[in-house]
Structure 1
Amino acid sequence: MRPKKFLLAVFIVLAATCVCAAKDSSPVFRVSVMQSDEHLFHESIIENLEDSLEKALGAKTKVEISTDSPETIKAKLKEGRVELVFCNSVLYRALLPYGVRDLATVHSDWNPNPNRADGAALIVKRDGEISSLNQLLNLKGPKVAMEKSRHFDVLYYILGEFETLKLDSEKFKTFLSENTRKSSELVKNVIQGKMDAALLPACFLEQHVVEYPSLYREIKVLNPLRSSELPCTVSTTLYPNWSVLITPNISMKQATDIAATLLTQPKSSDGAWWSVSTQFVGVDKLLKNLKVEQYSYLREWTLRRFFEEYFPFIILFGAFLTGVILYSCIANRLIKIRTRQLSQSLLRLSKYKKEFELVRRDNEIYHRMGIVSHISSLISHELRQPLNTISCYSQGLLMRLEKGPMEQGQISDIVYQIHKKTQGADEIIKKVRDFAKFGSRPVATELNQSIRKA
Structure 2
Amino acid sequence: MRTNVSSFFFPAFPSMNRFLTTTLSACLLLECSAAFAEGAPLRMGISGFALPEHRTEIVRATEKVIRPMFGEDGLTVRDYTVSELEEAVRRGEVDIILSSAGLARRVSPYGVRPLVTVTAPGLENPNSNEGSLLVVRADSSVRTLDDLKGASVSANLPWGFSGWQIALGEVAAAGHDPDRFFGEKVFVGRSAGMTEIAQNVRSGRTVAGVLRLCAYESMAETDPTLIDGLRIVSERREPGIACRVSTQLYPAQTLSVTPRVDAQTARELMLRLLQMAPTADGRYWSVASDFHHVDELLKTLKIGPYRYLREWSLRRFLEVAWPWLMLACFLVAGLYWHSRRTERLLALRGELLGRMFAREAEQAERLTFLQRSNTVNQISSMVAHDLRQPLAALGFYADGLRMMVDLGRCDEDKLQRFSRGITKEVARASGILDSVRAYARNSRHPRRALVVDNLIEEAIGIFQAGRPNKIHVAVKIAQPGLSVKGNELELTLVFVNLLKNAREAVEKEAVRKVCIEVRRIPDDGATVEVRVLDNGPRLSDARLSGLGQPISSSKPDGLGLGLSIVRTIVEAHGGRLMFSQAVQAEYSGLCAVVRLPALDRNGGPDDHEEADDEGK
TM interval, short-chain normalised:
0.5 to 0.7
User: TM-score, normalised on structure 1?
Assistant: 0.66
Kindly indicate whether the alpha-carbon contact (under 8 Å) linking 2:65 and 2:273 is maintained by their aligned counterparts in 1.
yes
Task: Indicate yes or no: 2:196 matched with 1:186.
Answer: yes
Q: 1:86 to 1:181 in 2, by over 3 A?
A: closer
1:78 aligns with 2:87: no
Letter in 2 for 1:244: L
Q: 1:188 to 1:390 in 2, by over 3 A?
A: closer
Which residue in the other structure is 1:175 paired with? 185
SS of the aligned residue for 2:242 comes to strand
- Report SS of the residue matched to 1:71: helix
1: CA distance between counterparts of 2:159 and 2:394?
138
Helix, strand or coil for the counterpart of 2:211?
A: strand
1:266 shift after superposition: 5.0
Question: Does the CA contact (< 8 Å) of 1:383 and 1:425 recur in 2?
Answer: no
1:38 aligns with: 51
2: distance between equivalents of 1:234 and 1:317?
44
CA distance in 2 between partners of 1:214 and 1:426 (Å): 151
The equivalent residue for 1:225 is: 236
Displacement of 1:309: 3.7
2:108 aligned to which of 87, 96, 114:
96
2:118 touches 2:284 (CA, 8 Å); kept in 1? yes
What letter matches 1:201 in structure 2? R
SS of 2:222's partner is coil
CA distance in 1: counterparts of 2:408 and 2:158, whole angstroms: 157
Q: Which residue of 1 aligns with 2:431?
A: 437
Which of 237, 242, 245 is 2:256 aligned to? Answer: 245
Deviations 1:133-169 (A, max 9, x none): 5666666xx573x445762331112222233345675
* Residues 314, 23 of structure 1: alpha-carbon distance in 2 compared, 3 angstrom cutoff: closer
Give % identity. 23
Residue 161 of structure 1 aligns with which residue?
Answer: 170
Higher-RCO chain (CA-CA 8 Å, sequence separation at least 6): 1
Residues 22-421 of structure 1: pairs in structure 2 closer than 5 A: 27-36=40-49, 38=51, 41-54=54-67, 57=69, 59=71, 62-126=74-138, 128-129=139-140, 131-132=142-143, 144=154, 146-147=155-156, 151-166=160-175, 169=178, 170=180, 172=182, 174-180=184-190, 182-183=192-193, 185-186=195-196, 189=199, 193=203, 195-196=205-206, 198-212=209-223, 217-263=228-274, 265=276, 267-332=278-343, 413-415=407-409
Shift in Å at residue 38 of structure 1? 2.0
Amino acid paired to 1:178:
V
Secondary structure of 1:209 counterpart:
helix
Query: Is the 8 Å Cα contact of residues 70 and 91 (structure 1) preserved in structure 2?
Result: yes
Q: CA RMSD in A?
A: 5.2
Amino acid of the residue matched to residue 114 of structure 2?
A: D
2: distance between equivalents of 1:101 and 1:23?
20
Q: 8 Å contact 1:389–1:421 — kept in the other structure?
A: no
- 2:250 counterpart letter in structure 1: Y
CA distance in 2, matches of 1:62, 1:114: 30
In structure 2, the CA distance between the partners of 1:269 and 1:161, relative to structure 1 (3 Å rule), is same
1 CA distance for matches of 2:191 and 2:427? 137
- Structure 1 residues 331, 112: CA separation in 2 closer, same or farther (over 3 Å shift)? same
Per the alignment, do residues 48 and 301 of structure 1 end up closer, same or farther by CA in structure 2, a change over 3 Å counting?
same
Q: Kindly state the Cα deviation for residue 117 of structure 1 after the two structures are TM-superposed.
A: 0.9
Contact 2:194–2:211 (CA under 8 A) maintained in structure 1? no
Q: Distance in 2 between matches of 1:143 and 1:346?
A: 82
Report if aligned partners of 1:125, 1:190 keep a CA contact under 8 Å in 2: no
* Contact 2:135 2:210 (8 Å CA) reproduced: yes
Residues 111, 39 of structure 1: alpha-carbon distance in 2 compared, 3 angstrom cutoff: farther
Q: Please state whether the residue corresponding to 2:237 is helix, strand or coil.
A: strand
Q: The residue matched to 1:103 in structure 2 has which SS?
A: strand
Sort the Cα spacing of 1:228 and 1:69 in 2 relative to 1 into closer, same or farther, 3 A.
same
Secondary structure class of the residue paired with 1:234: coil
AA of the residue aligned to 2:430: A
- Contact 2:197–2:210 (CA<8 Å) still a contact in 1? no
Q: Which residue identity lines up with residue 210 of structure 2 in the other structure? A: L
SS in 2 for 1:228: coil
Change (3 A) 1:277 1:329: same
TM-score, with structure 2 as normaliser: 0.51
SS at match of 2:164: helix
Q: Structure 2, unaligned stretches of length 5 or more?
A: 1-34, 436-454, 462-616
CA distance in 2, matches of 1:186, 1:282: 29
Structure 1 letter corresponding to 2:56: E
Matches of 1:165 and 1:152, distance apart in 2: 19
- Describe the SS at the equivalent of 1:116: coil
Aligned length: 402
Contact 1:105–1:276 at 8 Å: present in 2 too? yes
CA distance in 1, matches of 2:399, 2:204: 156
In structure 1, list runs of 5 or more residues that go unmatched: 1-21, 398-412, 446-454
How far apart, in 2, do the equivalents of 1:343 and 1:312 lie? 45
